[in-house]
Amino acid sequence: MFLIVGLGNPERKYEGTRHNVGFEAIDAISKKFGIEVSHKEHKGIVGKGVINGHKVMLVKPQTYMNLSGECVREMCDYYEVDPETELLVISDDVSLSTGNIRVRKKGSAGGHNGLKNIIAHTGSNVFPRIRVGVGECENGDMVSHVLGHYDAEDRERVDASMDKVIGALELFLEDNLDGAMNQFNVKEKVE
């Protein structure tokens, strides 16, 4: 069983915000592979299904971004998922240009509170992740930036990035994270 977790905030007011791009990725995966994500379990909304012959569980934590690790830890424990090889976390990244993605096997939280909380609850920063670029904060108000909505051009870029996320997910499921990094990581300055 693979646990595919998209980070975001519950409540309608957060839909379409930069911070909720992980939820959008789960929605895109759900639509592409016909996996309904509607069952409430372990502080998340989940859907179970099969992608390319692999059993998966798609998860949207409902604990709000900063407490995402509570849901992830409970799901990993209950389903005996190894975070190093069977967990994939999808989140936003303000240090990537809008619509670019970066695939990693492990790493720091990079200032992302959802990832910080997952690291705190799992006790490790060694878990695969896909970070989706939502653009840099230009006005210095990070909260307003990540909880803000895209303009029309950036919305198109993010929508187009979902195909890349799905491609990287499929390679992850085939135990080819290196291939995903080679194919989808854009070379750009990361601060």
Does 14 carry a binding-site annotation? yes
Does 66 carry a binding-site annotation? yes
Q: How far is CA 41 from CA 38, 59, 61, 74, 142, in A?
A: 10, 9, 9, 9, 31
- To the nearest 10°, report the CA torsion of 89, 92, 174, 67: 0
Check: CB of residue 133 under 8 Å from CB of residue 162.
no
Asked whether the CA dihedral 72, 115, 132, 159 is positive or negative, the reply is positive
E strand or H helix at 167: helix 152-173
Is 39 a catalytic site residue? no
Q: Residues at the annotated binding site for tRNA? A: 14, 64, 66, 113
Residues that are catalytic: 19
Q: Residues at the annotated binding site? A: 14, 64, 66, 113
